[in-house]
Every structure is written in C-alpha cells, then in structure tokens.
Chains A and B, each alone.
Chain A
Amino acid sequence: MNNSNRDEHHRFLHEHFGITTRLGQFTVALAGNPNVGKSTVFNALTGLHQHTGNWPGKTVDNAQGNFTYLDHSFLMVDLPGTYSILAHTVEEQVARDFICFGKPDATLVVLDATCLERNLNLALQVMEITSKVIVCVNLMDEATKKNININIPALQKELGVPVIATAARNGVGLDKLRQGLYEMSIGSCIGTPRQIKYSPAVENAIQQLLPNITRVIGPNLNPRWVALRLLDGDQAFIKSITSYLGLSLIYLQEAAV
C-alpha cells in the first residue's frame, strides 16, 4: 500500500469498524466457533494491552488488543464467536464484514482440536474470502486427554494454509502463532487455500459471472466469493457491498438469477 492508500484504509477502518491503527501497524482478525478458547488465544497474545467497545451501530462486543513481534506492532481484532459467516445473525455479519472489507493482514481461525470436523466449516468459509488465513488448532491438551491424535502437517497440506497447534492456556504454540502471523503479514508466507469445488452447474455459473464482477469490484474483493454470494441470493451481503464500497450489484444479481 502506498501512503495515500494507507491513510484512506486507516480512515475506512475507523469509520466502519471503530478501529484505530497506528502507522505501519498490521491488523489481525481472530475468528472461531464459540468455546474454542478464542479469548484465551486473544488474551495470551495481547495480555493487558487491550480494550473493548462495540462495533459501530451494533450491539456486539468489539475487543481489540496490541502485541509486538520482531519490532512490528500488531492490532488484533477479536471477532464474535460464530459457527459460520453465511447465516445472518448480527455476530456473523460483523465477522464476515470485517474479514471481507476490513482487509486484515492476516485472519487467524481458531479451531477446537477435540471436534475438528464441525470447526473446519468456518475455516473453509474464511478461506473462500481471503488467502491470508492461518489456522490455529487449539485445545491440543484436551485432544490428547481424549486420545485424539491430529496430524498437523497433513492438515496443513490438505488446507493449503499454515496450521499451528496450540494449547493456549498453557502457553504452548504461541510463539509459532506470532511468527506465523508476522510472516503472513509481511508477505513472506503466502497461503494457497484449498477452494471448495461445487457442482458443474454452479461452477459454470461462477465462470459466467466472473468477468462482470471483476470489472465492477476491481481488486476490492475476491470475485469468486462475490459470485457465490450472488448465486446464493444473499441480499444482506449485497447491501454490505453497497454500504462499504459504494457499489451497486443489483443488476449483477439479476444477471445471476
């Protein structure tokens, strides 16, 4: 980002998300299902350097905290705990909008090692929006107690993004987490998230929509993700695009349907 873009993004974050970043500070979004130890990860990384408020215009808690790694400052934004970012509770909209429009330098998705299956749903959804994803498999100590063995390298290979095992409440894996977030933020680590492949009918429809979406949205959002939302008939998301980017997609949606 050049300076004027950076200033603009700084203003955008402040206006839409109530987030004030310092010059050169990286932003990290923290996502995860309820009860996966997300707050423990947040507290372990940011310690006492955090404050809470509300998301602008929403009655949803917004916690932010700072940490430093290798002389780089990070602002971590704790998103509401959700199972998904596709249904339309206020919490899910907040989480989705920040990952989509807040353009964090990295999104950390915390998973519960004792029920990976259900948790991977959210990780895959986030991976459809952004490639800057790091997966944190937390509660590894609980998993060990339950004789659950997780092959982290295999999971990383399957997902195509960095996967880091942690037991946040015991401080295990936190350094690797900081390092991972740092490498992704400075761009020395680039993920290639595995994309869900849909039925031929859906994939064809996506291909038909892509040229127009790319033309209208430009580099603002992942065009495949936007195509999927249009095909989903996701009115709330189309409204979000209008309010965050000032773009109307109504006619694109008509083309989709």
Chain B
Amino acid sequence: MNTLSTTVPLSSLGIGSICQVVSLNLQGLLRRRILDLGMVPGTPVQCIRKSPSGDPIAYLVRDTLIALRSEDASQITVNLTNQY
C-alpha cells in the first residue's frame, strides 16, 4: 500500500486512470452485486469511458467491462495508483 496516495470517489476518475478499491460505502443488494462482480478492497479498476452525459461510466474490473451509475460509483472509495 502506498501510504502517500489519496482516496477519492471512483466517480471522480478520469478516463484511462487506474485505481484500487479501498471501500464500498454501499448497502444491501447493490453492495452484494458490486462484490459479486469482483470489486473487493484491493481490486484494480480502470476508468475506460464515460457516456456523453457523463453517466453511466464504464470501468474495467478483472478483465470485464462494467457500467456503473455515477451516483453508485461515488459511493466507492478508491486509491489512485499508477501500477497494478
């Protein structure tokens, strides 16, 4: 873990940026769903593209492209990293 890295909401990531999941501030069904797709703390995530309106946003997680609403992505805290 890079102790100097900053934690930001996943929704704030620019296209092409890579980060690592720190925590999910989600509850219930959505939390379960996100975990089931393999987004657990420590998982590398890359922002791939955003829809014209900026919502939803496509992320690459474990070689799979996942679209998230920006509202939900804002509840996922990540560390900015430049390496896997």
Residues of A within 8 A of B (CB): 83-84, 86-88, 114-115, 117-118, 121
On whether the beta carbons of B29 and A88 are closer than 8 Å, the reply is yes
Contacts of B63 in A (CB 8 A): 114-115, 118
A-B contact pairs, 22 of them (CB 8 A): A83-B33, A83-B36, A83-B37, A84-B32, A84-B33, A84-B36, A86-B32, A86-B36, A87-B29, A87-B32, A87-B36, A88-B29, A114-B63, A115-B62, A115-B64, A117-B38, A118-B37, A118-B38, A118-B62, A118-B63, A121-B36, A121-B38
Cα-based distance from A117 to B32 in the complex (angstroms): 17
Q: Looking at chain B, what size class is its interface with the partner chain?
A: 10 to 19
Contacts of A88 in B (CB 8 A): 29
Cα-based distance from A51 to B49 in the complex (angstroms): 41
Residues of B within 8 A of A (CB): 29, 32-33, 36-38, 61-64
Contacts of A84 in B (CB 8 A): 32-33, 36
Contacts of B37 in A (CB 8 A): 83, 118
Chain B's closest residue to A232 (CB) is B32
Chain A's closest residue to B43 (CB) is A117
Of A83, A87, A114, A121, the most chain B CB neighbours within 10 A belong to A87
Contacts of A83 in B (CB 8 A): 33, 36-37
Cα-based distance from A84 to B38 in the complex (angstroms): 11
Cα-based distance from A87 to B27 in the complex (angstroms): 12
A-B pairs, top 6 by smallest CB distance, nearest first, are: A84-B36, A118-B38, A87-B32, A83-B36, A115-B63, A118-B62
Q: How far is the CB of B20 from chain A (nearest CB, A)?
A: 15
Q: How far is the CB of B60 from chain A (nearest CB, A)?
A: 11
Contacts of A121 in B (CB 8 A): 36, 38
Chain B's closest residue to A117 (CB) is B62
On whether the beta carbons of A118 and B32 are closer than 8 Å, the reply is no
Contacts of A86 in B (CB 8 A): 32, 36
Q: How far is the CB of B45 from chain A (nearest CB, A)?
A: 13
Please give 14 more A-B residue pairs, beta carbons under 8 A apart, in addition to A83-B33, A83-B36, A115-B62.
A84-B32, A84-B33, A84-B36, A86-B32, A86-B36, A87-B29, A87-B33, A87-B36, A115-B64, A117-B38, A118-B38, A118-B61, A118-B64, A121-B38
Contacts of A114 in B (CB 8 A): 63
Cα-based distance from A123 to B64 in the complex (angstroms): 18
Cα-based distance from A84 to B32 in the complex (angstroms): 9
Contacts of B38 in A (CB 8 A): 117-118, 121
Contacts of B33 in A (CB 8 A): 83-84, 87
Of B29, B32, B36, B62, the most chain A CB neighbours within 10 A belong to B36
